[in-house]
Amino acid sequence: MMHSKERRVAIVEDNTRFRATMETFVRELPGFVLAKSYGRADVALQDLERALSCEGVPPWDLVLMDLELPELDGIAATRRLKAAAPAVSVVVLTVFEDAATILEAISAGADGYLVKGINARDLRQQLTAIISNDVPMTPGVARTLLTFVRESSAAGPPAEPGPTRLDLTAREQDVLRCIVRGRSYHQTADDLEIGLETVRTHIRNLYRKLQVHSVAEAVALAIRRRLI
């Protein structure tokens, strides 16, 4: 994703009042610009398909996606959007905090998962983290995932076969644990007392070994297959 200009943001939210609040928030957020706002995901996807067909590039860099939407729900919309435009970041912004919904959204391709009610300062910090390729995740969501991992690990053997390559080093496993907990790249570097570029190198190695293409995919795979 480009780092030299403002990120174009689309909002997909059917609650008119909350959508208006988010529109104001994005307009005032440094480094971001409001590109479009939608009450329905299917309409947003039509615009995406039209832009890709006519211009060859997506009309946005980031989508803030609600989950409970009319006609087409946010998880199905996320899956379709990421299939059509993988470079577009999708951050879920919803009221749902249960592990099953979080995992389903991440597995669908969501690049982050935030819960409505997050204060403006934290929301600003979480969205700005995208610029550094960090994963926006409300602390409560990270705790839910961590609890799920612990309970799943205690329940018995993995339900799914592991990936073909599991030669993770001890440090790569440490990094994987950090990102599953919702720690940013910078926080991971501080936690493990290593450099930021070293964290990025470990993340690239995790992508290759786990055969994934994003931090969100790595988190979903680590949880489903109990790799940590």
CA–CA distance, 210 with 85 (Å, rounded to integer): 22
- Look at residue 168 and give its three-state secondary structure: coil
Domain count across the chain: 2
Is 91 domain-assigned?
Answer: yes
Tokens of 42: 């299917």
Task: Calculate the average pLDDT of the chain.
Answer: 84
Q: What pLDDT digit, counting tens, does each position of 105-116 carry? A: 887 888 888 999
If asked whether residues 132 and 167 sit together in one domain, one would say no
Is 152 domain-assigned?
Answer: no
Q: What integer is the mean pLDDT of 80-100?
A: 90
Is 146 domain-assigned?
Answer: no
What radius of gyration, in Å, describes the C-alpha atoms of the chain? 17
Tokens of 223: 């949880």
Positive or negative, the Cα torsion across 187, 207, 150, 167?
negative
If asked whether residues 76 and 185 sit together in one domain, one would say no
The pTM assigned to this predicted structure is: 0.72
- Look at residue 6 and give its three-state secondary structure: coil
CATH code at 217?
1.10.10.10
For residue 109, the model assigns a pLDDT of 84
Instruction: Give the DSSP letter of residue 86.
Output: T
Is 143 domain-assigned?
Answer: no
Top pLDDT among 91 and 139 is at 91
If asked whether residues 111 and 166 sit together in one domain, one would say no
- Look at residue 92 and give its three-state secondary structure: strand
Q: What pLDDT digit, counting tens, does each position of 157-172 carry? A: 444 444 444 678 889 9
For residue 153, the model assigns a pLDDT of 53
Is 197 domain-assigned?
Answer: yes
Among 66-70, 94-98, 214-218, top mean pLDDT goes to: 66-70
Which residue range(s) make up the domain with 86? 7-138
Q: Where are the beta strands (DSSP E) in the chain?
A: 7-12, 32-38, 62-65, 89-94, 112-115
